[in-house]
Amino acid sequence: MRWAILAALPIGLLLLALYPMVATGYGIQFMLQLFMWVALAQSWNLISGLTGYVSFGHVAFFGTGAYGAAILVSKHAWHWVPASLMGGVAAVVLALIIGYPCLRLKGPYFAIAMLGLNEVMRVLVSYFEGLTGGGSGLSLPTLHASRQVYYGMGLAALAITGVAHILITSRVGLRFMTIREDEIAAEAMGINTARYKLFAFLLSAFVPGVVGGLYARDQGYIEPISVFPLLTTVTMIVMALFGGKGTIWGPVLGAVTLFIFQELVWARFLYLHQVLFGAIIVVVVLLMPKGILGILQERYRLPRWV
Amino acid sequence: MNVAITPTMIGQVIISGLLAGALYSMVALGLALIYGVMRVINIAHGTLLMLGAYTTFWWFRLLGINPYLSLLVALPLMFLLGMLLQRTLVTRVVDAPELSSLLLTFGISIALVNVAQLAFTSDVRSVEFLTGAFLVGPFALSKSRLVSFAFAVVITVLAFWFLQKTKLGKAIRATSQSSEVAMVCGINVQRIHLYAFGIASALAAAGGSLVAVIVAIQPEMGTVYTFKSFLVIVLGGAGNYPGALLGGMLLGLVEQLSSLFLTTQVSEAVAYVLLVLVLLLRPTGLLGGRAR
């Protein structure tokens, strides 16, 4: 079983790498956004799925990365690849500033603080008009780079999933999960919880920042409400939850399933699809809080590398 | 921005702050009740406020009667809707980790907002009533804000009287102190949850009806009030009901005062900085509350 999957993985990756040669513009856009959601859901999984600290404002890192990269590209004429990486660095810096104090907060208070952080970031970005264009947004120079951005997003999704794999199958991941199960016990066992929480938080902030930068490049235009919506945070959470939080492939499975469903079914209805999304959130939370993989894991004792 | 700040301006700002603060206090008291009794953070709180505001709008538009009288309809209506939500959905996540209740109430919120968008369109509506201002000395007091303030004070006082003096109110406070002990004392905790959610929804609806004559009404209007209510209960200390009053007033004042020096947008950020500071420095709230 394990060998079959290990063989399927490189073949799948090869197919995805070759896909842009045969794909239409829409196909590339579709896959690019799919990768974006995989990366976002997986990065939320690193902090919240593993350590149990619910980041309810994770989109703040995405937005920070988007603005960081967009400013570098449009005002300082950087190439979008290093600019996106710098977007990731900007997100990590933000995570460091906010995580150091806020990770001491327990339970719902951390969630509220993160929610507040997102609002603050949106307001600040709207306020510093000289740098960010304020509420009227920021345009990037025209460039048709969908194919390249496709690879960028794909790499980001692959990298963060790889990190999740390394963490979850290692002692570091076990320490994260110990914090999730019982922080006081973790401390008593000699785990430096403050350090590990911050480490997980920084790891989980980098990729959303990079992805934000790539998103800004792909869209060519960003504004505060498009890169800091609470809805994006909730979407990544629901994707991770649907597939199974705290697992390696759960967020990937959740992102793929929900994104395909969203594109094929909901996009046809303007308001109704959000009503349906609300209903799906309620159903996922009430009926399958452990997610698909969580349920399978309980029933069939799946190994950790799932 | 370089306008000299006179004492009159500061007085005006303090008055506006208190007028706004009373509304925040009333709305946040609802959120504090739900959190106190069930440890659930209700993201749909502002959504219920929005529904209250629409009730007032349609009441005024279709019947043409004094919009303040719509409180008589909006409060019972949202009380029932709140109990329905609690009975069918929220009750299932009461003892679950906070992620469940956050997501669940967000799901309820987004569904209701979009139903409102389908039903009422996203056009910005307003209730034109009691426009203009009283001039008292050097201060201008907006008529609608003043009347809404008065109603908010009356409703908040009634809510506190209810919590302090009635048997049900005492049972609610007992449950928020310790639901196990309340249960041992023979309090039907499930029923308390139901009433608490109903009352909280009615308080949100009252907020909606009262701001309907002041601000623009549209389906997304509630989000801001949800955030502000969080802020208020963090300031006052979660599960501390008088703290919610203090927190609301404080938020109103801080917002208005900072708008004197900064733009309105940034004054919102000031409020959040305050939130994070209070969370870090005095995590039990200004009046003290439950430890975190």
Does B118 contact A at CB distance below 8 Å?
yes
pLDDT at B292: 38
Give per-residue pLDDT as tens, B186-222. 999 999 999 999 999 999 999 999 999 999 999 989 9
The complex scores an ipTM of: 0.88
For A126, which of B108, B234, B265 is closest by C-beta distance? B265
Q: Rounded distance, CA B187 to CA B203, Å?
A: 23
What pLDDT score was predicted for residue A194?
Answer: 93
With CB atoms and an 8 Å threshold, state whether A127 touches B275.
no
Quickly state the pLDDT bin for A149 (edges 50, 70, 90): very high
Task: Kindly list the residues from chain A whose CB atom is less than 8 angstroms away from the CB atom of residue B117.
Answer: 271
Note whether B179 and B189 are within 8 A (CB): yes
Angstroms from B111 CA to nearest CA on chain A: 4
Rounded Cα distance, A70 and A90, in Å = 12
What is the tens place of the pLDDT at every residue in A102-113? 898 887 888 888
Radius of gyration, alpha carbons of chain A: 19
Burial environment of residue A142 by CB neighbours within 10 A (0 to 12, 13 to 18, 19 or more): exposed
Query: CA B280 → CA A113, A174, A217, B273, distances in Å?
Result: 10, 28, 37, 11
Q: What is the DSSP letter of A190?
A: T
**Model confidence pLDDT, tens digit, residues A37-51:** 999 999 999 999 999
Task: State the Cα–Cα distance between residues A277 and A245, nearest whole angstrom.
Answer: 19
Give yes or no for B226 touching A (CB within 8 A): no
Domains and CATH numbers, chain B: 7-276 (1.10.3470)
What are the φ/ψ torsions at residue A257 (nearest 5 degrees)?
-60, -50
B154: contact with A, CB 8 A cutoff? no
How high is the pLDDT of residue B193?
96
In this prediction, the residues of chain B whose per-residue pLDDT falls under 50 are 1, 291-292
Distance of CA A62 to the CA centre of its chain: 8
Q: Is the pLDDT of residue A302 over 80?
A: no
The mean per-residue pLDDT over the stretch A53-72 comes to 95
Nearest-by-CA chain B residue for A239: B103
Q: What per-residue confidence (pLDDT) applies to B264?
A: 67
The verdict on a CB contact (< 8 Å) between B292 and A105 is yes
Residues in A touching B97 (Cβ below 8 Å)? 52, 54
> Are the Cβ atoms of B265 and A123 closer than 8 angstroms?
yes
Taking contacts as CB-CB distances below 8 angstroms, the residues of chain A near B265 are 123, 126-127
For residue A217, which of A93, A94, A91, A81 has the smallest C-alpha distance? A81
With a CB cutoff of 8 Å and minimum separation 6, the contacts of B18 are B149, B249, B252, B253
Which helix (H) or strand (E) covers residue A138, if one does? Answer: strand A138-139
Q: What is the DSSP string of chain B?
A: --PPPPHHHHHHHHHHHHHHHHHHHHHHHHHHHHHHHH----TTHHHHHHHHHHHHHHIIIII---GGGGHHHHHHHHHHHHHHHHHHTGGGGTTS-HHHHHHHHHHHHHHHHHHHHHHH-S--B----S-SEEEETTEEEEHHHHHHHHHHHHHHHHHHHHHHHSHHHHHHHHHHH-HHHHHHTT--HHHHHHHHHHHHHHHHHHHHHHHHTTS-B-GGGHHHHHHHHHHHHHHH-TT-HHHHHHHHHHHHHHHHHHHHHS-HHHHHHHHHHHHHHHHHH-TT-TT--S--
Residue A14, min C-alpha distance to chain B (Å): 37
A12-28 tens-digit pLDDT: 888 888 888 888 888 99
Q: Average pLDDT for residues A168-184, to the nearest whole number?
A: 93
CA angle B130, B132, B133 (to 5 degrees): 110
Q: Please, where are the H alpha helices in chain A?
A: 2-22, 25-44, 50-51, 59-76, 80-102, 108-127, 129-132, 146-168, 171-181, 183-188, 193-219, 224-227, 230-243, 250-264, 272-287, 291-300
- The burial of A139, by beta-carbon neighbours within 10 Å (0-12 exposed, 13-18 middle, 19 or more buried), is given as middle
3-state class of A151 per DSSP?
A: helix
Tens-digit pLDDT profile for residues A135-147 = 888 999 888 888 9
Radius of gyration of chain B (CA): 19
Q: What angle do CA A60, A64, A65 make, to 5 degrees?
A: 120
Band of pLDDT at residue A129, cut at 50, 70 and 90: confident
Q: What average pLDDT does the segment A274-282 reach? A: 90
For residue B233, the model assigns a pLDDT of 87
Q: Over chain A, what is the mean pLDDT?
A: 90
Chain B residue closest in CA terms to A235: B103
Show me where the domains of chain A are located: 2-300
Query: What's A2-300's CATH class?
Result: mainly alpha
Nearest CA in chain A to B270: A120
Per-residue pLDDT, A237: 95
**Best residue in B1, B99, B228, B273 for a mutation probing chain A (most A CBs within 10 Å):** B99
pLDDT at position B1, please? 47
Mean pLDDT of A83-99: 95
CB contact under 8 A, A271 and B118: yes
Buried residues in B38-53 as b, exposed as e (16+ CB within 10 A): bbbbbbbbbbbbbbbb
SS3 A207: helix
| pLDDT top residue among B93 and A262 | B93
A213-242 pLDDT per residue, tens:
999 999 999 999 899 998 999 999 999 999
Q: Judge: B118–A289 Cβ closer than 8 Å, yes or no.
A: no
How far from the centroid of its chain's Cα atoms is residue B73's Cα?
18
Paired tokens of A166? 């390394």
pLDDT at B2: 55
Q: How confident is the model at residue A3 (pLDDT cuts 50, 70, 90)?
A: confident
- Identify residue A296 by its one-letter amino acid code: L
How many angstroms separate the CA of residue A47 from the nearest CA in chain B? 13
Residue of B nearest to A103 (CA): B280
